[in-house]
Amino acid sequence: EVFALLEQKANTALVSFFFELNTALILIQIEIRSYELINLRKSLGPSSPKSHLMPLHHPKHRHHHDEDVLPYHRSDDEAKPRRPYV
């Protein structure tokens, strides 16, 4: 019975620990996001009307130019003039 009580206390402590850990991780993520947004706004400057419309994503996901999405655009064939389709 003592063992069962100890086990229950240990389980409760573990659950509480993981809950606090999870909460801390969420808070850290929020902190990072807001830090990135502040930096983004600084880099855009107050004159830019886009600053309040920007998504909270990582900079890598923000601008998708064609060459990022379609890597074959970088091939050597692109340098040559295109032949019209027959």
Instruction: Classify burial at 36, counting beta carbons within 10 Å of its beta carbon; exposed 0-12, middle 13-18, buried 19 or more.
Output: middle
Instruction: Classify burial at 39, counting beta carbons within 10 Å of its beta carbon; exposed 0-12, middle 13-18, buried 19 or more.
Output: exposed
Condensed to tens digits (0 to 9), the pLDDT of residues 37-82 reads 999 888 887 655 554 555 555 555 555 554 445 445 455 555 556 6
> % helix / strand / coil in the chain, to the nearest 5?
70, 0, 30
Predicted local distance difference test score (pLDDT) of residue 5: 93
Q: Where are the domains of the chain?
A: 2-79
Say if CB 67 and CB 74 are below 8 A apart: yes
What is the value of pTM for the model shown? 0.40
Selected residue with higher pLDDT from 39 and 85: 39
